[in-house]
Amino acid sequence: MSLVPIPHPRPEHPPAMHGPHSMTSFPQFDKTSLPATVPAASDALPHGVCAVPDSCCRLVTLHGSAARFARQAWRALAALLIATPCALADHPTVGVAGAGAGPINTANATTLPKGLFALTLGVEYVNVDRYSNAELESFGEQGIEADSANTELVPYIGAAYGVTDDFMLGARLPYVFIYGIREPAEGGGVADEGNVNGLGDTTLFGQYRVFNDTASQFEVALIAGMQLPTGADREHAPDGDLLETEHQPGSGAWDPLLGVVATRRFGRHTVSTQLMYTHANTGSQGTNLGDVINYNLGWSYHVGGPDPHVDAEPAAPHVHQHADGSMHVHDDGAASSGDTQGPAHAHGGEDLGYDLVLELNGVRREELTVGGVRDGDSGGNRLFLSPGVRVPMSERSSFFASVGVPLYEHVNGAEHRTDYLASMGWSFAY
């Protein structure tokens, strides 16, 4: 059975179900993470540094974005996979959200401008509504292959790079800690399987903006990617037994993902909706952790910020934030924005304000199979209500945090339910 959604990714956020760590949601990056003065393209990245972005949305299952912010505004959203609130699953689900203007766990259709690199450092936490030893013993007596874990902690690093103004590439790499794994022992009692930690599966993705109406501030993007079997999948219990794949940091499987995201802005408000499908293939120990569908709806409201701009032209190239939370780019003396075109103007304040966020993050996971045999005590459908906040720390970086509580959980058999999910992190842009 299992303990997410997004991100994910499975990129990483909603929870308990089977699958390696991540919920469908890739790292998203904050508009406030943009520098006040944009460097030349050659200064965008340090020599030798590669650019790429898990969700915050992840799903934990037990049984598993300057180089040149030119001409367009970056409005970020990841994460629930890690991610989406977190997806509970010893194996999270992919996510394209995590840190950026707009929702936190729901992806944003805005892509990074050409040449811009963004980095996110975050952590996701899942607290499971765990089973007692007595309950596990009872499951064992009934022949039910239940198991339990106390918590899961997933630090991750995400990166993204704008290849063109409408296409970006990203990656997410998690490190997974699972604490308090227990299951019914053969012959009675409860077996303490201990704790496990290790590198998780890497998610690579591409996001292409297929529609961008600047008049209505409505955008649509397609996302495609792959979760790679980079995670540890041969970890052992204290007694030397090989842990089941649903309790391993990695899945050992190559899992493709495909999704669509739409974003609309109304002044200080941003609304995004995302649908992501991850196809699970068979990995370690003949285990297939089950296909995952992440569905998210997120809203954010920008509070405060600089005064409206007037008069003089700032030094170009230049990026600044409007009082309504939008970003405005001056490139070689020309002013442009992702949602407005306007004449040059100057700043009247320095307060960057903050974003209030409220999301619905859902994840549906199929039952896992081992050796072709379906586990009826795994998988299910979960929906989380996730309030959050994003606070600019400077014009280059911001802090974000989100907590997810279950609104609805329909799980199969003895599959775990979720107590709550949490995620936090920092995003930077160069």
Say how far apart CA 397 and CA 16 lie, in whole Å. 32
Rounded Cα distance between 192 and 148, Å, is 10
**Separate counts of helices (H) and strands (E) for the chain:** 1, 19
**228/9 Cα distance (integer angstroms):** 10
Spatial distance between the Cα atoms of 102 and 296, rounded to a whole number of angstroms: 13
Q: Please say whether the dihedral angle defined by the alpha carbons of residues 336, 70, 6 and 325, taken in this order, is positive or negative.
A: negative
In the DSSP assignment, the letter for residue 418 is E
What's the pTM value of the predicted model, to 2 decimals? 0.75
Distance CA 279, CA 3 (A): 20
> In tens digits, what is the pLDDT along the chain, a chain of 430 residues?
333 332 333 333 333 333 444 444 454 544 444 433 333 232 322 223 222 233 333 333 333 333 333 333 333 333 333 233 333 333 433 334 443 467 999 999 999 999 999 999 999 999 999 888 888 988 888 888 788 899 999 999 999 999 999 999 999 999 999 999 999 888 888 989 999 999 999 999 999 999 999 999 999 999 999 999 999 999 999 989 999 999 999 999 999 999 999 999 999 999 999 999 999 999 999 999 999 999 999 999 999 875 434 333 344 344 444 444 445 444 444 444 444 334 344 444 467 889 999 999 999 999 999 999 999 989 999 999 999 999 998 878 899 999 999 999 999 998 889 999 999 999 988 8
Angle at CA 40, nearest 5°, toward 109 and 212? 20
| Residue that has been written with the tokens 């409201």 in this structure | 301
SS3 116: coil
